[in-house]
Amino acid sequence: MSLTDSFVRDWQLSKVADDKKYQCSVCHWGSKYKHCVVRHERTFHTSDRPFTCPVCSKAFKQSYDVVKHMTKHSAAKNHVCGTCNKAFRDRTKLRDHAAVHRGETLCEVCYTNVSCYSSLVRHMMIHTDEYEHSCTVCGAEFRRRSQLENHMLKHH
């Protein structure tokens, strides 16, 4: 390794350390932003749900989730499929629906047909041995982040 390579590597390592100024008090996950660590701790290490829907009182961990949820209370379906005229409340649902018309919802491994593209992405995880999400407390491994989050709520 040349002197220049060594300098660059050391600079990159110090930059990573600088970027992790704030750390989770439970698992030591880090971020350079305090609000990211607060959100991480709330998501993975508590069962607190401080944000509530003003319409139905359903509780959420993140304020953004309340905003997303509020679309369920709206009667307006302003996002319309150009192929079949089916209407949706949000753009993401329309995008997922459009994948059906493009034939992008059939699993090429087991030929299961799912309802939308995001479901296909989630479905494909059953065909892999990859466990990308692991519990920092007990080491349990999960294919999906949502499975890890549920595990953290139930067991830690």
| Tokens 């067991």 -> residue | 155
Helix axes 91-101, 117-124, angle to 10 degrees: 80
Secondary-structure percent of the chain, ordered helix, strand, coil, rounded to 5: 45, 10, 40
State the amino acid at position 123 in one-letter form: H
| Tokens 């995001």 -> residue | 118
Q: How far apart are CA 34 and CA 48, in angstroms?
A: 18
Domain locations in the chain as residue ranges? 105-156
The answer, yes or no, to whether residue 26 has pLDDT greater than 60, is yes
pLDDT band at 4 (very low <50, low <70, confident <90, very high): low
Average pLDDT of the chain to the nearest whole number: 82
Which pair of structure tokens corresponds to residue 93?
A: 């649902």
Note the pLDDT of residue 14.
Answer: 46
Instruction: For residue 33, give Cα distances in angstroms to 10, 14, 24, 133.
Output: 22, 17, 11, 22
pLDDT band at 123 (very low <50, low <70, confident <90, very high): confident
Note the pLDDT of residue 80.
Answer: 94
Q: What is the pTM of this model?
A: 0.41
Per CATH, domain 105-156 is 3.40.50.720: no
